[in-house]
Structure 1
Amino acid sequence: MSKAQYEGYTDQAATKLVREKFGDTNVYAQNAKSILTKASGFIAAYDFTINPYRGCQYGCSYCYAAAFSPNNKMRHDWGKWVIFKENSADILEKELENWYRKNPHLSPKIYMSSVTDPYQPLESKLQLTRRLLEVMLPYRPVLVIQTRSPIITRDIDYLQRFQHLRINMSIPSGSEVVRKDFEPRSPSIKARFNAIYKIKHSIDSLKGFVPKLSVTITPLLPTLPTDESDFIQKLAIADRVVIQDFHPSDQRSLVASTRQEAKEIKNKYAWWYDSKHFGYLQFKEKLVSQLPGIEIKEGKAGFTYE
Structure 2
Amino acid sequence: MAKIRYEGYCEGEPTRLVREKFGNANVYGQQTKSLLTKATGFIAAYDFTLNPYRGCQYGCSYCYAAAFSPNDKMRQDWGNWVIFKENAEEVLSKELYKWYAKNPQTPPRIYMSSVTDPYQPFESRYGLTRRLLEVMLEVRDNGYPTPTLVIQTRSPIITRDIDYLQRFQRLRINMSIPTGSELVRKDFEPRSPSIKARFNAISIIQQKIDAFKGFVPKISITITPLLPTLLTDETSFIDKLAIADRIVIQDFHPSHNRSLIASTRPEANTVKPKYAWWYASEESSYIKFKEKLVSRLTHVEIKEGKEGFGYE
1:71-105, Cα deviation, whole Å (9 max, x unpaired): 11100000000000011011100110111001111
Aligned-residue identity in percent: 75
**Structure 1 residues 18 and 287 mapped into 2: Cα distance closer, same or farther (>3 Å)?**
same
- Hey, what's the Cα distance between the residues in 1 that align with 2:267 and 2:291? 29
1:272-297, Cα deviation, whole Å (9 max, x unpaired): 12248961100000000000010000
Matching of residues 263-274 of structure 1 within 5 Å: 263-274=269-280
Give the equivalent residue in structure 2 for 1:94: 94
- Hey, what's the Cα distance between the residues in 2 that align with 1:4 and 1:217? 35
Give the equivalent residue in structure 2 for 1:239: 245
- Hey, what's the Cα distance between the residues in 1 that align with 2:116 and 2:85? 12
- Hey, what's the Cα distance between the residues in 2 that align with 1:9 and 1:267? 31
- Hey, what's the Cα distance between the residues in 1 that align with 2:22 and 2:53? 14
* 3-state SS, counterpart of residue 207 of structure 2: helix
- Hey, what's the Cα distance between the residues in 2 that align with 1:189 and 1:256? 25
Give the equivalent residue in structure 2 for 1:9: 9
**Structure 1 residues 276 and 163 mapped into 2: Cα distance closer, same or farther (>3 Å)?**
closer
- Hey, what's the Cα distance between the residues in 1 that align with 2:253 and 2:283? 23
Give the equivalent residue in structure 2 for 1:211: 217
Task: Give the drift of 1:239.
Answer: 0.1
Task: Give the drift of 1:132.
Answer: 0.3
Give the equivalent residue in structure 1 for 2:299: 293
Q: Could you tell me which amino acid in structure 2 is paired with residue 301 of structure 1? A: E
- Hey, what's the Cα distance between the residues in 1 that align with 2:32 and 2:16? 14
Give the equivalent residue in structure 1 for 2:33: 33
Give the equivalent residue in structure 1 for 2:57: 57
Give the equivalent residue in structure 1 for 2:178: 172
Q: Could you tell me which amino acid in structure 1 is paired with residue 194 of structure 2? A: S
* 3-state SS, counterpart of residue 163 of structure 2: helix
Q: Could you tell me which amino acid in structure 2 is paired with residue 144 of structure 1? A: V
- Hey, what's the Cα distance between the residues in 2 that align with 1:121 and 1:62? 19
- Hey, what's the Cα distance between the residues in 1 that align with 2:5 and 2:97? 33
TM-score if structure 1 supplies the norm length? 0.99
Give the equivalent residue in structure 2 for 1:111: 111
- Hey, what's the Cα distance between the residues in 2 that align with 1:47 and 1:117? 19
Give the equivalent residue in structure 2 for 1:253: 259
1:152-198, Cα deviation, whole Å (9 max, x unpaired): 00000000000000000000000000000000000000000000000
* 3-state SS, counterpart of residue 302 of structure 2: strand
Give the equivalent residue in structure 2 for 1:75: 75
Structure 1 runs not aligned, ≥5 long: none
1:254-289, Cα deviation, whole Å (9 max, x unpaired): 000011110111111111122489611000000000
Structure 2 runs not aligned, ≥5 long: 140-145
Give the equivalent residue in structure 1 for 2:142: none
Give the equivalent residue in structure 2 for 1:128: 128
Give the equivalent residue in structure 2 for 1:284: 290
- Hey, what's the Cα distance between the residues in 1 that align with 2:283 and 2:255? 25
Give the equivalent residue in structure 2 for 1:302: 308
Q: Could you tell me which amino acid in structure 2 is paired with residue 185 of structure 1? A: R
Is residue 2:163 matched to residue 1:151? no
Give the equivalent residue in structure 2 for 1:18: 18
Task: Give the drift of 1:137.
Answer: 1.1
Task: Give the drift of 1:138.
Answer: 3.4
Structure 1 range deviating more: 247-256 or 267-276? 267-276
* 3-state SS, counterpart of residue 279 of structure 1: helix
1:49-78, Cα deviation, whole Å (9 max, x unpaired): 000000000000000000000111100000
